[in-house]
Structure 1
Amino acid sequence: MSFDTVPPPAHSSISVEAARALVESQAPEYAHLPLGQHYEGWDCAMYRLGGVLAVRLPRTADAVRFLLAETRWVPELSAGWSFPFPHFPFVGVPGAGFPFPWAIVSWLPGDMAVDVPLLASEGPTLGLALAEVHQVAPLEAPINVEQSIPMTARSEKVLRRVAVLGERGGPNGERLDTDAALALWATASGIPDPDRSEFVWSHADLHGANVLSMDGRFAGIVDWGSMAACDPAVDVGFAYSLMPGEGVASLMAAYGEATGRVDDAFVARARGIGLAKAVGIAMNAKPETLAMGWRALDALGLCLPART
């Protein structure tokens, strides 16, 4: 998701009637289940289907690739995952006036972490979940054009956004410590990137709209359509937007014990990714998203108090 844009308009065929017709014509074994609440995401719209399922409909032609990636890679790679994640009991084809593939997906309960951030105590739990996800990725694994990139390729956006946020400040009067942010970025971007052979399968979009929270407890990861081979520090860096800084520290400790990947260079890269994501999220006009970005900056230790 790009946090400095608005969602594209949804295809006009998306409706509860279309969802019902698709289920009845292609997955009649689920047709007895009632269709419920409608949720409008960035890439997909969803309608609850009974108590534990949902109908997932790509909102645009471009979003189809995310659904196809998710329904391919999650079943293939998830055999060793012990945390909650979506299952796909049915994948459908265009029909009933709807022009794209679609799916029936398991419904995971919980709130988005953008609304209910994870407690710091959940760091080890999320760290072990990421250790399960981060299997070594073969050279033929897909590449994410936003996340499978060198650190220096992020510099132009990071530096521009640091300058803007340094002038703008946060929603509660907090201020960005621009000197500390620039020093963090100089360290992160000065470290050699890992070799492609060290890349791992990654969620690659692990912000607070894709991580679930149950009263602050980690409750699962959704929306795997951006999955790709990345530096393992990428997903860990996203965690600054999910929980306080001490939680990320305990996440890294648990992740490092499970994988052996965490050293000073890894921590610096993860903090650099955290900054890159935080300044992008904090540019958003949506209040809850903007607040998540400033929470991430605070978790990185980059916030100064409001002037009195």
Structure 2
Amino acid sequence: MNATHPAGPKPDADVGIDEELVRALLSARHPDLAGRGLGFVDDGWDNAVYRLGPDLAVRLPRRAGANSLLLNELRWLPFLAPRLPVPIPVPVRGGKPGEGYPYHWAIMPWFEGRSAATVSPQERDGYAVRLAAFFRALHVPAPADAPKNPVRGVPLKGRDATVRGRLEASVLEARDGLLALWDEGIAAAEHRGPRLWVHGDPHPHNVVVGPGDQDGAGHAPIGLRAVIDFGDLTAGDPASDLAVCWLHFTDAGREAFRGALADHALYSPGTWVRARAWAVNYASLMAALPEADPLHAVGVHGIGQLLRDE
């Protein structure tokens, strides 16, 4: 779920993408890879994804609005990756419009594992400290030409009409409690200091996990393999990223996550109050998705965690 996605039906694609087209693009631009095995993986809100051999993936925007997001990834992920302690999908090669396809596209690494949205919150607690380390490294001052995003990393007051209207129209039993938490965020001090790099959408479905190192009892807890989908990459208030600790974790994981970031010099007490309000925004959106969507359960869990904190 990228920043611009309301809860509701996935937008229609404005271009047809199939295996034949992807083969043609590869043959024209990267013929040395065109003979690899190719298989459809996913057709998301913004991009179609095809697996290319055992270790690569082809990511192709399916609508015009996603083209600029992909260009941001092509430009900035190679810059950010060496600074981060968790793998991210740095483009291996780029692709230009051609063969009747109007957008840029990219070849990226394939990360073995599964979406963190498919494992339990208790299992996700196991990577809380490592995800915090990812944010500690990411949340540093960004250059002036960092991407701008109208709905991530921005002051909460600019989102008030949209989020308040959605909550007031909601049939969620938790509506009043969520509105109270949103109001606390609105009343909190705004972000001060430099604009920090912000992932924009680091919910559990954009985190890849797999078995971690075995402990003394021979158990292999869930480990953090990669953080993916930087289409909403921007700079601003880090609270919009930190919100996801209510979506990923239980009380224990959230305590570990926040503890690992307690001394971050560019955060303030108001950061976590704003983060909780951002979590209200995300959780209410996700809980309204169809039950079959993996983010529905993430949203329901997030609402429960928020009300525990209230």
Q: TM-score, normalised by structure 2?
A: 0.87
Matched, 1:180 2:184: no
For residue 72 of structure 1, report the CA deviation from its aligned partner.
0.6
Cα shift readout 1:102-159 (whole Å, capped 9, x = no counterpart): 1111011222222225522321110001111112113332221001321122222333
Where does residue 104 of structure 1 map in the other structure?
107
Secondary structure of 2:48's aligned partner: strand
Question: Which segment drifts farther, 26-35 or 220-229?
Answer: 26-35
Q: CA deviation at 1:263?
A: 4.1
Q: Secondary structure at the match of 2:65?
A: coil
Inter-partner Cα distance in structure 2 for 1:255 and 1:32:
46
Deviations 1:36-71 (A, max 9, x none): 233212111011100000111110122111110111
Q: Which moves more between the two structures, 120-129 or 133-142?
A: 133-142
Segments of structure 1 that go 5 or more residues without pairing to the other structure are 170-174
Equivalent pair of 1:237/1:273 in contact (CA under 8 Å): yes
- In the alignment, the residues of structure 2 paired with residue 220 and residue 187 of structure 1 have an alpha-carbon distance, to the nearest angstrom, of 33
The equivalent residue for 1:172 is none
Letter matched to residue 200 of structure 1 = L
Percent identical residues: 30
SS at match of 1:300: helix
Find the aligned partners of 1:227 and 1:99 in 2 and give their Cα distance: 23
| Structure 1 contact 3–284 (Cα < 8 Å) conserved | no
Q: Distance in 2 between matches of 1:121 and 1:301?
A: 22
Distance 1:40 1:179 in 2: 36
CA contact (8 A) 1:200 1:232 kept: yes
Q: Kindly provide the amino acid, as one letter, of the partner of residue 227 in structure 1.
A: L
**1:12–1:263 Cα change, 3 Å:** closer
Residue of 54, 59, 63 corresponding to 2:57? 54
Residue identity matched to 1:35: L
Aligned to 1:204: 200
Residues 170-228 of structure 1: per-residue CA shift (max 9 Å, x gap): xxxxx42x443333222211112113x43211111122321223264322111112110
- Following the alignment from structure 1 to structure 2, what is the Cα–Cα distance between the partners of residues 3 and 207? 15
SS in 2 for 1:22: helix
Contact 2:126 2:253 in 1 (8 A): yes
The aligned amino acid for 1:126 is L
Alpha carbons of 1:143 and 1:218: their partners in 2 closer, same or farther (altered >3 Å)? same
Residue of structure 2 aligned with 1:299, choices 274, 283, 305: 305
Structure 1 residues 24 and 150: CA distance shift in structure 2, 3 A: same
In the aligned structure 1, how far is the partner of 2:64 from the partner of 2:89?
A: 22
**Aligned residue identity for 2:138:** V
CA deviations over 1:2-37 (Å, ceiling 9, x no partner): 141322222443110111111112112212311123
- Please state how far the C-alpha of 1:86 moved relative to its aligned partner: 0.6
Quote the Cα distance in structure 2 between the aligned partners of 1:19 and 1:236. Answer: 36
1:37 is paired with a residue of what secondary structure? strand
Match of 2:284 among 279, 290, 307: 279
* Aligned position for 2:217: none
Aligned: 1:256 with 2:253: no
Instruction: Classify 1:23/1:163 alpha carbon distance in 2 versus 1 (closer, same or farther; 3 Å).
Output: same
Q: Is the 8 A contact 2:153 2:239 kept in 1?
A: no
Whether the 8 Å contact between 1:181 and 1:302 is mirrored in structure 2 is: no
Task: Flag the 1:303–1:270 CA change in 2: closer, same or farther, 3 A.
Answer: closer
Contact 1:55 1:103 survives alignment (8 Å): yes
Q: 1:66 aligns with which of 58, 64, 69?
A: 69
| Residues 1:266 and 2:263 are matched in the alignment | no
Matched-pair contact (CA < 8 Å) for 2:48–2:61: yes
Q: TM-score, normalised by structure 1?
A: 0.87
Tell me if structure 2 keeps the 8 A contact 1:154–1:276: no
Question: Which of residues 48, 52, 76 is equivalent to 1:45?
Answer: 48
Report the Cα distance in structure 1 between the residues aligned to 2:6 and 2:254, rounded to whole angstroms.
Answer: 22
C-alpha distance after superposition, 1:69-102 (max 9, x if no partner) = 1111101222111212112111011122222111
Once the two structures are TM-superposed, the CA of residue 278 in structure 1 deviates from its matched residue by: 1.1
1:152 corresponds to: 157
Alignment of 1:21 with 2:24, yes or no, is yes
Check conservation: 1:47, 1:54, Cα contact below 8 A: yes
Report the equivalent of 1:163. 168
Counterpart contact for 1:297–1:303, Cα < 8 Å:
no
Q: Any stretches of 5+ residues in structure 2 without a counterpart?
A: 212-221
CA drift at 1:303: 9.5
Distance across 1 between alignment mates of 2:303 and 2:309: 6
